[in-house]
Amino acid sequence: MERLSYEEKGVFLQTLHTGVVLVYLGVLCVLALLFSHPLYLTGIFILGALAVIVSEAVEKWEMYLRMGIWMALLIMIINPLVFRTGKTVLWHGPTVPVLGKLDICLEAICYGAAMGIRLLAVLTVFCLYNAVVHPDKILSLFARYAYKSALVVSLATRMLPAVARDLANAREVQQLRGVDYGSGSLRERVRKHSWLLNIVLSSSLERALQVAEAMQARAFGTGPRSCYRRELRRPRDLLCFTAGILALLFSLLAKFKGYGDYTYYPQMGKLVESSSSVIWLGIILISLSLPVVLSWGWKHCPYLRSKI
Amino acid sequence: MSLFKIQNLTYYYPDRERPALKNINLHVEEGELLLIVGGSGSGKSTLARVLAGLIPDFYGGKIGGRVFFEGRELSEDGRRALSTQAGIVFQDPEKQLVMTAVEAEIAFGLENLGLPQQEMFRRVAEVMSFLNLSPLKNEFTANLSGGQKQKVALASVLVMQPRVLILDEPTSQLDPAAADEFFYLIERLNKEMGYTVVLIEQRLERCFHLADRLVVMERGEILREGPVGEVARWEVENALPFLPPVARFFAFLHAPFIPLTVKEGRRELKKFLPVSPARPPDAGRRASENNNPGPFPLLTMPKGQVKQERAVVEIKNVWFTYPNGREALKGINCRVEKGEFVVIMGENAAGKTTLLKQIVGLLKPGRGSVVVMEKDTRTVSLAELARDVGYLAQNPDDHLFQDTVEKELLFTLNNLSLADDGVIDAVLDKLSIVQHRDANPRDLSSGERQRVALAAVLVARPQLLVLDEPTRGIDYRLKKELGAFLKELAEEGLTVMVVTHDVEFAAEYAGRVIMMFDGMLVCDGPKDRVLGTSMFYAPQMARLFKDFAGGVLTVKEGLAKIRSNGDAKKCLSVNADC
């Protein structure tokens, strides 16, 4: 809890305008939910992974993946047990109460796998959000519209590590006064922990009062306030914003034309129905990959860096 | 015209019968640095809050008298105007930061003033450059060190361009290096930028020389104000402790000029003591007495201590690595005997607190062993260890949650299945808090809270008392009381171990000093040998007497040295006793 997820690494996506990053990540997330075609989902997932790599957030991503892969596997296992409308039965199982006959179909496994990839893609987007979006910038973005709510979020975020530290310290001190938190009945343990809560609550209230005093000393609530906007707009913001919007438009168009969907039940359709499907996917991925390509170029090409 | 002028100010906090400020008359001149000293509860912080406009606006209560800013009564100004007249930096940096990131924090006050974008940009940029905060501008405030946080707090006040800067014990939570850096900034702000500064501080050895005028407060009243040297002399005559050692020493000597820094003091001392640059006279004698080869014995035990049979603490080749991979202790060997008063010193992250936690059993060694009262911390439970070891945390509030002081003490006894055989009365009496027996500990002053927490520890009659930074944020008088009390406990046979940054405290009260660096024990021995020969950890008096005489760590020892020197005695009056 001491360390918030965001770390300033000076990578390309961290230098983008917060609004642009939100649009880009939003588009990635929407597309992962919009399409059901395994190729489209895999493409979006790979693109997200590339964005993670260029943002030097692989370590964080591994933590998300560790959790995500288990969930994806769970979907792959549960889905065939629940949906048995597929035609390609791989294994005829016994009849069990509630679920009925356990026939495992290829289609259900594949659908489960596709949903697993969708889940991983969405988790990747969340990981990217944590890695490249500074929470304060999000707050200042929304502060103009909901300033009090933004301030409450900020104060709470500041308070969390302090409360965690108070709790750890108080626990240690009480242990050395003979309190054994591991022994006793459930009721006794709850009682022992309630003492900790008492200490932390008292300290937090005192801290809240002092923070309020510091805020008053800095003219808080003395009248209309302005909003400190620190974000710059550069050509890279326009490029990435356009890329995100174009990707969304192309995707909607592709969806409207029937690409990006896939028939799993009762029998799986062809993976590549027509070349147009692949071309549309290519166009969408090219649009989406612009920030990744720019990120690579920004890091390795000083000329490009100076121009965007 | 004075910048601030206070006339007959009296103030009562809500529901209090005793005034926090009583008949205060004071003026603050443009460009001066006014240092306010006094014990806890003397009204210093309350006065600072009056100047900052927080009293009575934020606190309520009853107020009498008048406060003027540039001839205009303060109560006539709106809050927005007040915040640009005087800016205040509080004690604890943790409790005055609002936003999560540095730049946003600095801009917060400007947003509240409703300044235009361009003006905010300019001011934030200037302040960040001046305080060298630019590399941290996107950093989370939670990830900063204490010193950096306090610098951010100073920046967020400076950015509002107040006429007067009020600093309420701004370095009390900082380590010495961070405190020095902070004072350097204050000196620059005062001398180069012309800022008027009202400074309330306990670390007088670091800031006394910066002051133009000194104000001494007690029980809500101003006892004396005036030029620093004059007030210092008056303080010594009236047995007040709020003086750094060098000034105290020369005031005791009735010297015509009171030096405020070691440099000035050495210049004065040279007039009546001969310099012996080759070697401090006592150093050779002491070394030969102890049969010790040099001043900094690496990883060796002082002779004469090993012969005792049973150690209270025995640490053998202890290594410890935190789960995040940081190796915090590297091959520590140490033995502490019954009745010793040991101080552990060292820079931040040197491993002091980790060593302390190993001793009290909160952490277990990765390799090696820690044996406390013949109990191996690896095999014995914390509850069992707690019978012999008392631990006082840095923040006494971590101990206190019962409704009354008595219940707080009973809580420890009940947990350890001990009976009250009159020990509660004895401990309360010994710590002079018997009158607060039925009070809620959280309602007491910070010094009293610390004594209640200490009582709650001592009531179990521990054999070993371990204290983490007990002098942080407490005033000279409380520090003196605490030091004398711990020394008395050690003389009664209790073993006392203290982690502190406070060199003067170690010099005055400890028997033995252990220095740590980078997880290793670099020096261990009697205090005069460790501190007296140290370059940077030497107390003021040792630095003052360096090359003049050895073995001087305290004012008392300095005066004794002068008394023993015939020539110097003739030049000065040294009849006074400290």
CATH superfamily of B4-243: P-loop containing nucleotide triphosphate hydrolases (3.40.50.300)
The sheet with strand B62-69 has its strands ordered as B21-28, B4-12, B62-69, B72-73
- Please give the DSSP secondary-structure letter assigned to residue A168: H
Q: What is the pLDDT of residues A96-106, one digit of tens each?
A: 777 777 788 88
d(CA A234, CA A298): 13
Residue B320 pLDDT greater than 90, yes or no = yes
Q: Provide φ and ψ at A75, rounded to 5°.
A: -60, -45
- Restricting to A residues 175-194, those with a Cβ less than 8 Å away from any Cβ of B are 175-180
3-state per-residue secondary structure call for A226-267: CCCCCCCCCHHHHHHHHHHHHHHHHHHHHHHCCCCCCCCCCC
Residue B322 to chain A, least CA–CA distance (Å): 15
Residue B545 CB neighbour total at 10 angstroms: 26
Identify the CA nearest to B514 among candidates B501, B502, B525, B500: B525
Is beta strand B21-28 parallel, antiparallel or unpaired with respect to B4-12? antiparallel
Q: Would you say B248 and B555 are in contact if contact means Cβ atoms under 8 Å apart?
A: yes
- Which element (helix H / strand E) includes A79? helix A58-82
- Chain B residues whose CB is inside 8 A of the A213 CB are 54, 58, 90
pLDDT tens per residue, range B448-462:
888 899 999 999 999
Whether B55 and B133 have beta carbons less than 8 Å apart is answered as no
Q: Where residue B294 falls among pLDDT bands split at 50, 70, 90?
A: very low
Continuous H helices in B469-539: 476-491, 503-509, 527-532
pTM (predicted TM-score): 0.81
Nearest to A210 among B84, B95, B460 (CB): B95
CA distance linking residue B530 with residue A65, whole number of Å = 54
Mean pLDDT (whole number) for B205-213: 90
The confidence score (pLDDT) of residue B571 equals 60
Q: Which residues contact B491 (CB under 8 A, 6 or more apart)?
A: B339
Lookup: tokens for B505: 């405290």
Residue labelled with tokens 């502490």 = B336
Rounded to whole angstroms, how far apart are CA atoms A245 and B522?
63
Residue B481 has pLDDT above 50, yes or no: yes
Residue type, B265: G
What does the alpha-carbon distance between residue B490 and residue B486 come to, in Å, rounded to a whole number?
Answer: 6
Nearest CB to A158 within list B78, B113, B142: B142
Omega before B56 within 30 of 0, i.e. cis: yes
Please give the distance of CA B157 from its chain centroid, rounded to a whole number. 24
Using pLDDT thresholds of 50, 70 and 90, give the confidence band for residue B59: very high
- Which candidate in A133, A192, A218 is best for mutational testing of the B interface (most B CBs within 10 A)? A218
d(CA B106, CA B122): 12
Give the closest of B139, B156, B398 to A173, CB-based.
Answer: B398
Instruction: Indicate whether B96 pLDDT > 80.
Output: yes
Distance (Å, whole) CA B211 – CA B197: 9
Q: Measured between CB atoms, does A303 come within 8 Å of chain B? A: no
Chain A nearest C-alpha distance from B111 (Å): 5
Q: Is the peptide bond before A291 cis (omega within 30 degrees of 0)?
A: no
> Measuring CA to CA, which residue among B9, B1, B99 is closest to residue B50?
B9
Complex ipTM > 0.95: no
Share of chain B above pLDDT 90, in %: 51
Minimum Cα–Cα distance from B460: chain A residue: A177
The torsion angle over the Cα atoms of residues A294, A300, A303 and A308, rounded to 10 degrees, is 30
B interface test, pick of A177, A200, A216 with most B CB neighbours within 10 Å: A177
Q: Is A242 on the interface with B (CB under 8 A)?
A: no
Chain A residues with beta carbon closer than 8 angstroms to that of B114: 223-226
CB B395 within 8 A of CB A163: no
For the residues B512-541, what does the mean pLDDT come to? 88
Among candidates A202, A216, A221 on the partner chain, residue whose Cβ is nearest the Cβ of B401: A202
Calpha distance B114→A223 (Å, rounded): 8
Domain(s) of CATH 3.40.50.300: residues in chain B? 4-243
Q: For residues A234 and A16, what is the distance between their CA atoms, to the nearest angstrom?
A: 8
Task: Tokens for B179, please give them.
Answer: 């405190």
pLDDT digits over A128-180, tens only? Answer: 998 998 877 887 788 777 888 888 888 887 788 888 888 999 999 998 888 88
Sequence ranges of the domains in chain A? 12-137+231-307, 146-217
Find the closest chain B residue to A6 by CA distance: B140
**B122 and B74 Cβ atoms separated by less than 8 Å:** no
Q: How far is A221 from chain B (nearest CA, A)?
A: 7
- pLDDT digit string, tens, across residues B354-365: 999 999 999 999
Q: Which residue of B has its CA nearest to A220?
A: B112
Q: How far is A55 from chain B (nearest CA, A)?
A: 17
Tokens 């501008």 sit on residue: B137
Which of B80, B97, B397 faces A158 most closely, judged by CB atoms? B97
Q: Which residues pair with B227 in a beta bridge?
A: B213
Smallest CA-to-CA distance from B214 within B194, B237, B184, B244 is with B244
CA–CA separation, B366 vs B326, rounded Å? 12
Which of B99, B124, B457 should we substitute to test contact with A (largest number of A Cβ atoms within 10 Å)?
A: B99
pLDDT digits (tens, 9 = 90+) for A13-45: 999 999 999 999 999 999 999 999 999 999 999
A116 CB-side CA count, 13 A: 21
Q: pLDDT tens digits for B391-427?
A: 999 888 888 888 999 999 999 998 888 888 888 998 9
Are A295 and A250 a contacting pair, CB within 8 Å?
Answer: no
H or E element in which residue B520 lies: strand B520-526
Q: Chain A: residue nearest B137 by CA? A: A8
User: Rounded to a whole number, what is the distance in Å from the CA of A158 to chain B's nearest CA?
Assistant: 6
**pLDDT number for residue B300:** 36
Q: Tell me the three state secondary structure of residue A76.
A: helix
Closest by CA position to B280, among listed B549, B544, B554, B543: B549
Q: Among B88, B383, B442, select the one facing A178 at the smallest CB separation.
A: B383
* Closest in B109, B142, B357 to A219, CB measured: B109
User: What is the C-alpha to C-alpha distance for residues A172 and A148, in angstroms, rounded to an integer?
Assistant: 36
Which residues of chain B are within 8 Å of residue A227 when distances are taken between CB atoms? 111
Residue with tokens 């050779």: B284
Q: Which residues of B touch A198 (CB under 8 A)?
A: 401
Q: Residue B296: which residues within 8 A CB-CB, separation 6 or more?
A: B522, B523, B530, B533
With residue B400 as reference, give the H or E element that holds it.
none
Helix, coil or strand: residue A25? helix
